[in-house]
Structure 1
Amino acid sequence: MAQDNQEKRALERTAVTIFIRLYNQNHDNKLRLLYQRERPDAVLQDARQRMIGMEITHLFYDSEEAKMLLGRSHANIHSLEVVEMLIKELNKRIRTKEAKIDQYESSYPIALLIRNASSAFGMSDILRAKELICKPQGKFTHIWFVSRDGSEEWLMKDLNGL
């Protein structure tokens, strides 16, 4: 159990590091990671000393892909993948996180960060099927989606703006 928690924290730290780098490249009000915790997963601070909570989740096509990518499966072939299934999983992640945010006690705004860990689909695939993404309910200040798109470069999009 402690190993799983360490792995989860490492995945979250990697995701928030990617996010901060992309955010700071595109915004004057720079962010930095203050600390990691539970509910929300990370607390950031902007250049004006304001704190921002960050709930973090990883998007996998399905549990088998997650196991394969995390080295927990010996399978090397995966079922036929379609972007609609990944977006269905994305919508489920958003709804699950929106349902949990009401339980958080926080004196600062909270954003959601979704890191696309699926190797099958990239940012352009998601954006091409954006009409399938459920409209967020406004519980998070932003729903940041970070994904690769056929290269090692990470891209970022606020799903609230779709």
Structure 2
Amino acid sequence: MARRLRSVGLDFVETAPVRLVFTREIKAAPGAVFGALAENVPGWTEWFAAVTLARPFDDGTRREVRLKGGIRFEETVLAAKEAELYAYRVDTTNAPGMRALAEEWRLAPAGTGTRVQWTFAADGTAPFRLVLKAARAGLGRSFRDAMASLDRRLAS
């Protein structure tokens, strides 16, 4: 059953009780990375293995995302700044224990490529926060794999 989460703004990325931050440099240019994140939302299934469905709606201001294991999200885009920033918050989910979630993707030039920083900012029940902190290594691995896959995809 989907539950409505607390509506948070972009500032939540800096103030959330749980903040997991991952960084990776890839060869693709910032504009290409931004395009894959913000403009080709359905393409997420081709480079982020955990994502089984991603589709924009409401003229791209909202998204539906489904993950392996059956977790579902409806999201609102908070920021989309070409080649620099893409961020969204989760409005509803079926994930237990979650109270608020926002994700931010910051892009910066790194030589001829891009430094990608993904911040996963969340609040939830005490058990949820503990599980999320324990899942840090797995989320980091998922991010690294996704960035490698995205880089290969953008190079082809």
Asked if Structure 1 and Structure 2 have the same fold, meaning a TM-score greater than 0.5 normalized by the shorter chain, the answer is no
Larger radius of gyration: 1
- Structure showing the higher strand proportion among its residues: 2
Larger relative contact order (Cα-Cα within 8 Å, sequence gap ≥ 6): 2
TM-score scaled to structure 2, two decimals? Answer: 0.32
- Structure showing the higher helix proportion among its residues: 1
TM-score scaled to structure 1, two decimals? Answer: 0.31
